[in-house]
Structure 1
């Protein structure tokens, strides 16, 4: 096993969801910045990067958001809270940025790679992300995919719920990058779904279509910050070979 794999294995083994943080220990807030920057290097659907990260740092803001997280200790004692937000509503802005990037990467617009990339981002991406109020376009896509799938493999997601799931999955990948990075920096984290997302959206002044994916508490762990030993279902019950 490579030395880098040994280091990574140690980080994975050491990472735990810490519920209580030490208020007196030194905490390098720049580690959060570095870890978010590593987080956004995560793989994501079509490289659309439909995510945002909000650092809750001031004592007043921490107190308010911790209350919105049901006053969990992982939120109340955190030295910072990071709110991970899914932004499916920004797909047009991200699409424009990616089209510009493809034009830079493929200066010869007549080449096959350029045509393929432009067709994907100019033609297919709008068909996937655009939705109407009743999601009739999404229903129509699902019907089309069903019949097209009778002949062979077909990507079958395309309605509003599918898009939301895709955005949340990508944001979760970035969140995991962030948490592993924080552990590598010597700090701990705890992802939380127990929260009042509506109030957090209002506090952050987010638009209606933005969605809070999770809130992550972080800081130096207190001695009693981990509630119990790690438990996992046996590997043979969850890992299979075909």
Structure 2
């Protein structure tokens, strides 16, 4: 095993969801900044990067968001809170940015690679992300995929719910990058889904279509911050070879 793998294994083994943080221990807030910069390097669907991250730093803001997280200790005692937000509604803006990037990457617009990239981002991405009020386009896409997939492999997801899941998956990958980075920096984290996402959206003044994925508490662990020993279902029940 490579040395880098040994280091990574140690980080993975040591990462735990910590529920109580030490208010007196030294805390380098720049570690949060560095970890968020690593978070946005996470893989994501079509490189659309439909995510946002909000650092909750002031005492008053933390108090309010902790209340919206049901006053969990992981929120109340955290030195900072990070709100991970899925922004499916920003797909047009991200698409335009990626079209410009493809023009930079492939200056020869007539090349095969350029044509393929531009077709993907100019034509296929809008067909995938655009939705109407009743999601009739999504249902039509599902029907098309069904019949097109009778004799060959075919993407099956395409309605509004499928797109939401895809965007949330990408945001979760970034959140994991953040938590692993914080552990590498010497600090702990706790992802929380027990929250009032409506109130958090209002607090952050987010648009209607933005969705809060999770709130992550972070900081130096306090004694008793880990509630119990780690439990995992046996690998034989979850890891398979075909």
C-alpha separation in 2, matches of 1:178 and 1:101: 25
Instruction: Find the counterpart in structure 1 of residue 54 from structure 2.
Output: 54
Per the TM alignment, residue 151 of structure 1 is displaced from its structure 2 partner at its CA by 1.6
Instruction: Find the counterpart in structure 2 of residue 23 from structure 1.
Output: 23
5+ long unaligned stretches in structure 2: none
Instruction: Find the counterpart in structure 2 of residue 82 from structure 1.
Output: 82
Per the TM alignment, residue 179 of structure 1 is displaced from its structure 2 partner at its CA by 0.1
Per the TM alignment, residue 238 of structure 1 is displaced from its structure 2 partner at its CA by 0.4
C-alpha separation in 1, matches of 2:139 and 2:2: 48
Q: Does 1:177 align with 2:177?
A: yes
C-alpha separation in 1, matches of 2:67 and 2:139: 39
Instruction: Find the counterpart in structure 1 of residue 122 from structure 2.
Output: 122
SS of 2:52's partner is strand
**TM-score normalised by the chain length of structure 2:** 1.00
SS of 2:83's partner is strand
SS of 1:33's partner is helix
C-alpha separation in 2, matches of 1:21 and 1:71: 14
C-alpha separation in 2, matches of 1:76 and 1:214: 15
Instruction: Find the counterpart in structure 1 of residue 71 from structure 2.
Output: 71
Instruction: Find the counterpart in structure 1 of residue 151 from structure 2.
Output: 151
Aligned residues: 242
Instruction: Find the counterpart in structure 1 of residue 164 from structure 2.
Output: 164
Instruction: Find the counterpart in structure 2 of residue 186 from structure 1.
Output: 186
C-alpha separation in 2, matches of 1:49 and 1:151: 33
Instruction: Find the counterpart in structure 2 of residue 142 from structure 1.
Output: 142
Per the TM alignment, residue 233 of structure 1 is displaced from its structure 2 partner at its CA by 0.3
Structure 1 vs Structure 2 CA RMSD: 0.3
Instruction: Find the counterpart in structure 2 of residue 200 from structure 1.
Output: 200
5+ long unaligned stretches in structure 1: none
Instruction: Find the counterpart in structure 2 of residue 232 from structure 1.
Output: 232
SS of 2:19's partner is coil
C-alpha separation in 1, matches of 2:154 and 2:59: 50
Instruction: Find the counterpart in structure 2 of residue 43 from structure 1.
Output: 43
Task: Detail structure 1 runs of 4+ shifted over 4 Å in the superposition.
Answer: none
Deviation per residue, 1:111-159 (Å, 9 max, x gap): 0000000000000000000000000000000011111110210000000
Instruction: Find the counterpart in structure 2 of residue 106 from structure 1.
Output: 106
C-alpha separation in 2, matches of 1:221 and 1:81: 14
Per the TM alignment, residue 219 of structure 1 is displaced from its structure 2 partner at its CA by 0.2
SS of 2:25's partner is coil
C-alpha separation in 1, matches of 2:195 and 2:37: 25
